[in-house]
Amino acid sequence: MPDLIPLLPERNHQYRDCRPCSECCWVLPLAVGHIDPHSKSLGQPCNRLASGGCRIHAQRFELCRRFQCTWLSDSKWNDSWRPDLSGLLCLREWIDEQVPAAIVYELRDGVIGSPEAVEILSELCRTTVSVTVIGRDDSRQRLVGAWKPDEAKNFVTLGQIREKSAA
């Protein structure tokens, strides 16, 4: 799995505020050392997370201060695409520091077909060469090309890619 925690400037709240979203505190896997001495795997809540948000917000860790999902870092993204509203948490990344790609976490079952999800995935497919969707069951699916929800030929699972590679 690639490093899912991009090193970014400290969160810029000039145009956007995360609240009340706290999806990244649930979703992202954190290795020991990222939030020392705590670690957690994909889908587990951070043990500093309470119903009202981070219990240590003012003293939260460097990693937490710097982490930005695509919604937070891209002012052009619609407000309704915020992860807790859209059900998708998106991260842009670079493959070999050259090729734009994206990772998308599905936060709720069945959300992939929603109008917001279609818009988000279309935007990511338009601006990157590879979009990997990580499902609630930790499955991996890869979107290639200009994806449309009714065009299954453009929706290629990693299993299918492996099968093709082995053939």
Residues in region 33-92 near ligand SF4 by CB under 6 A: 35, 46, 48-49, 54, 56, 60-61, 64, 67-69, 71-72, 82-83, 89
Size of the site for ligand SF4 (CB under 6 A): 23
The least distance separating ligand SF4 from the CB of residue 136, rounded to whole angstroms, comes to 16
Residues ≥6 apart with Cβ < 8 Å to 155: 141, 143, 147
| Nearer CB in complex with ligand SF4: 23/93 | 23
Q: Which range touches ligand SF4 (CB under 6 A), out of 14-22, 103-111, 139-147, 154-162?
A: 14-22
Residue 22 in the binding site for ligand SF4 (CB under 6 A): yes
Dihedral in degrees, nearest 10, Cα atoms 121, 124, 126, 130 = -100
The least distance separating ligand SF4 from the CB of residue 25, rounded to whole angstroms, comes to 3
Please say whether the beta carbons of 90 and 104 come within 8 A. yes
Residue 105 in the binding site for ligand SF4 (CB under 6 A): no
DSSP string, 90-150: EEEEEETTTEEEEEEEE-STTGGGSHHHHHHHHHHHHH-SEEEEE-TTS-EEEE-SS--TT
Residues forming beta bridges with residue 100, ordered by sequence position? 94
Question: Which residues sit at the interface with ligand SF4, rule CB under 6 A?
Answer: 18, 21-25, 35, 46, 48-49, 54, 56, 60-61, 64, 67-69, 71-72, 82-83, 89
